[in-house]
């Protein structure tokens, strides 16, 4: 068994988790790859549960992504099966058969149709995932499912994660109390192109799948699609949102209905909290970086500029070395391919403007910036001075730890 990785210095504490009516979860050690820890998670949902999902845009997705993307067309969910340690990617017909066997076995236990079973896998690419290890473990796991199994589930989906990730929100819809609770996993192979990790959120609100889908797509744009650790988009990414309807609120057919304002805000907040946990657990990370770009020709353009800065190895290593090297930020802006003018560009770090109008600010004092760089949360702001487009992204520094972890990932 590999030696456990040290917990990230940016680790977020696990919140006090409650229950989501209509959801039971659990985790078990199935021996899929890891020894001495849980690696198989199941969630079962009450009849009538609706579902929404977003998936990786990779052109080489895993078999579980294909399965769940197809299952989403049915708009209903009764179960979710997730394994860690093996991504079931690039495994040919064997990968498809493992999905079918897993869904068939879980459908029997949950007394539902196979297309109501959603699947997700995370871990090593290119190794056949043995279906029998999953199917043999499912009956025991099914018998141990609990409304309070959220923490076990959060730990069971971890791979190189150093801490479990979960968040919860309590709000009301038309005066009816509603809970939103979710878990996520992610540490490496993280880059914004949908969700860039695994995330599973459940609510007891009564919401149609079409409403859920609209809310989720909008929510990930400013959260899971606004983070990057290493610029690599996984083959296995997905975020699923389940609604059991147990809260009993009235039907709301429009995602923009004012009655959903508090729900939208809470969901977006929860998604961002989970996404930032992924950044804060970036492989080898010691610092979180927030990149704010304004003054771009459009929001889309601002996003591309922010992504170029967030993904730059030179920017990330400068942050790791606590070097306020603003020239690397200028470099990243210039390479983004987006409209920019060096003579209208402004760069600030930690709230201190360093460069403006194509040159360093006269009398610039680096002292407060150096102090900021020694902290754990770094802020970089860029104003392109062209128009009103704006975007924010989050990243982390790049340290020797990233190489150490990924250089021996399969061993």
> Could you give the residue numbers annotated as active site?
196
d(CA 71, CA 408) in angstroms, rounded, equals 35
Q: How many CB atoms lie within 10 A of CB 337?
A: 10
d(CA 301, CA 325) in angstroms, rounded, equals 23
* Inter-axis angle of helices 326-335 and 299-311, nearest 10: 130
Q: Which residues contact 31 (CB under 8 A, 6 or more apart)?
A: 39, 133
Q: Which of 106, 115, 123, 128 is nearest to 67 (CA)?
A: 115
159 is in an annotated binding site: yes
Q: Render 118-130 in DSSP notation, one character per residue.
A: EEEEEEESSS---
Token pair for residue 396? 């982390």
283 is in an annotated binding site: yes
d(CA 245, CA 48) in angstroms, rounded, equals 7
d(CA 270, CA 272) in angstroms, rounded, equals 5
Max intra-chain CA distance, the chain: 72
Beta strands 346-349 and 377-383 are antiparallel
For 85, the enclosing helix (H) or strand (E) is strand 79-86
Q: Which of 171, 179, 189 is nearest to 147 (CA)?
A: 179
Judge whether 377 and 292 are in contact, CB under 8 Å: no
233 is in an annotated binding site: no
185 is in an annotated binding site: yes
Binding positions:
159, 185, 196, 283, 406, 411
Binding positions for substrate:
159, 185, 196, 283, 406, 411
């Amino acid at each position: 068994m590999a030696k456990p990785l040290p917990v990230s210095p940016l680790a977020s504490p696990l919140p006090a988790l409650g229950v989501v009516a209509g959801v039971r979860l659990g985790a078990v050690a199935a021996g899929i790859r890891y020894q001495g820890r849980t690696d198989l998670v199941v969630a079962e949902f009450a009849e009538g549960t609706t579902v929404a999902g977003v998936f990786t845009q990779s052109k080489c997705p895993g078999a579980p992504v294909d399965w769940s993307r197809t299952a989403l067309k049915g708009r209903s969910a009764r179960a979710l099966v997730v394994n860690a340690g093996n991504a079931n990617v690039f495994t040919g017909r064997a990968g498809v058969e493992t999905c079918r066997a897993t869904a068939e076995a879980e459908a029997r236990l949950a007394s539902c149709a196979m297309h109501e079973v959603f699947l997700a896998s995370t871990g090593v690419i290119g190794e056949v995932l043995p279906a029998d290890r999953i199917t043999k473990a499912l009956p025991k796991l099914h018998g141990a499912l609990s409304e309070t199994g959220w923490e076990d589930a959060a730990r069971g989906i971890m791979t190189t994660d150093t801490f479990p990730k979960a968040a919860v929100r309590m709000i009301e819809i038309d005066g009816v109390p509603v809970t939103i609770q979710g878990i996520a996993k992610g540490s490496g192979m993280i880059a914004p192109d949908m969700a860039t990790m695994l995330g599973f959120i459940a609510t007891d609100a009564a919401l149609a799948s079409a409403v859920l889908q609209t809310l989720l797509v909008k929510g990930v744009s400013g959260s899971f699609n606004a983070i990057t650790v290493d610029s690599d988009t996984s083959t296995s990414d997905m975020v699923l949102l389940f609604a059991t309807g147990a809260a009993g609120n009235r039907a709301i057919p429009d995602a923009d209905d004012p009655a959903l304002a508090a729900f939208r805000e809470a969901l977006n907040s929860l998604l961002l909290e989970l996404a930032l946990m992924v950044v804060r657990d970036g492989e080898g990370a010691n610092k979180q970086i927030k990149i704010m770009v304004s003054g771009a020709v459009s929001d889309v353009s601002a996003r591309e500029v922010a992504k170029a800065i967030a993904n730059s190895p030179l920017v990330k290593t400068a942050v790791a070395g606590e070097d306020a090297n603003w020239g690397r930020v200028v470099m990243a802006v210039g390479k983004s391919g987006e409209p920019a003018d060096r003579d209208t560009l402004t760069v600030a770090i930690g709230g201190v403007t360093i460069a403006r109008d194509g040159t360093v600010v006269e009398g610039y004092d680096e002292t407060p910036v150096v102090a900021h760089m020694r902290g754990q949360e770094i802020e970089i702001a860029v104003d392109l001075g062209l128009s009103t487009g704006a975007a924010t992204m989050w990243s982390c520094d790049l340290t020797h730890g990233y190489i150490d972890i990924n250089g021996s990932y399969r061993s």
